[in-house]
Amino acid sequence: MRQLKETARKIKSMEIRGAGRIARGAAAELRDYAGRIAPKDIGEFNKKMKYAAGLLASTRPTAVSLPNAVRAVMRYEGETVGEAKSSIKKLADEFINNSENAVKRIGEIGTRRVRDGDTIMTHCNSSAAISIMAAAHAQGKNISVIATESRPRMQGLITIKQLDSLGITTSLIVDSAVRYFMKDVDLVVMGADAITANGSVINKIGTSQLALAAHESRKNVIIAAETYKFSPRTILGELVEIEERDSGEVISREKLREFSNVSVKNPAFDVTPREYVDLICTEVGAIPPEMAYVIIREYLGWEIGEMNSDGVW
């Protein structure tokens, strides 16, 4: 239980972060937790697994990769504890393996849209988006990247580190400079935390203004996202919840206490309408955002359902 709570804490505090990584982290924790517990019968096992699933799924509300991963593992079967444990292990390993392959495949597909000499702008830190840049670079295309800081958590610093280690020339800019530099950009490549049935993209706060600036300058916007980033429940009319994070990420509590009439708003994500997205690059192909529904139907159809009182779908 201690290890389970520790993983949940790490996801919540963003020690484990990135929509793909938190999905793989949750799947791995469910597998390991199942391996560690010694319940008296299958009934008790199922109850413990439901609790673990609910706890992990509730750590961050926006990235749909997280509940999709939890659901993928919680489809386990078994009449005995032993059977259930091995079913969970198989499903979790499958999810993690598919997820890692998907990121690689997105790179191979997405690189076809990158030309030699392109300057790419990116936002935050997305392993799927970086996979495209890495693949283009590995093919010998001479690309350079403009990366935003991505306040308040500065995930842009992770991006420049990763690109630098690959040998890709990168400029770091403040978030408010995206429109200023858009004239130098050939292509925008970003990740996603969730994609709705109508093709809207939910990603790190600031994504929508970057996409808007790109649209104004007629620059293409590619979203790199595995199929498990698509949200089945949006078909049922549900909106994706935007995570509001602690004010301390923006300004220290001490500093804030100096003011009487100031509060902080810190949404972690925003919504980019599909009009500002040219292509969503998934592991099963590059699709226009209008086709998001098809991905949900073909690849995640079994996921649609309502949450029960335990917080599990």
For the annotated catalytic residues, the residue numbers are 124, 193
Q: How far is the CB of 226 from ligand RI2 (least distance, A)?
A: 7
Q: How far is the CB of 241 from ligand RI2 (least distance, A)?
A: 13
| Residue partners of 120: CB distance under 8 A and separation at least 6 | 114, 133, 143, 144, 145, 146, 185, 186, 187, 188, 189
Sole residue written with tokens 């996801």: 11
The pair of structure tokens assigned to 296 is 């949900």
Q: How far is the CB of 47 from ligand RI2 (least distance, A)?
A: 30
Measured from the CB atom, is 42 or 154 closer to ligand RI2? 154
How far the first Cα of the chain sits from its last, in Å, is 22
In this structure, the strands spanning 187-190 and 269-272 are unpaired
CA distances from 120 to 74, 86, 196, 229 (A): 39, 44, 25, 22
Within 10 angstroms of residue 249's Cβ, the number of other Cβ atoms is 15
Q: How far is the CB of 128 from ligand RI2 (least distance, A)?
A: 4
Measured from the CB atom, is 118 or 283 closer to ligand RI2? 283
Identity (one letter) of the amino acid at 187?
L
Measured from the CB atom, is 18 or 110 closer to ligand RI2? 18
Beta bridge partners of 103: none
Measured from the CB atom, is 147 or 197 closer to ligand RI2? 147
Would you tell me which residues interact with ligand RI2 (CB under 6 A)? Answer: 17-20, 124, 126-128, 155, 191, 193, 203-204, 268
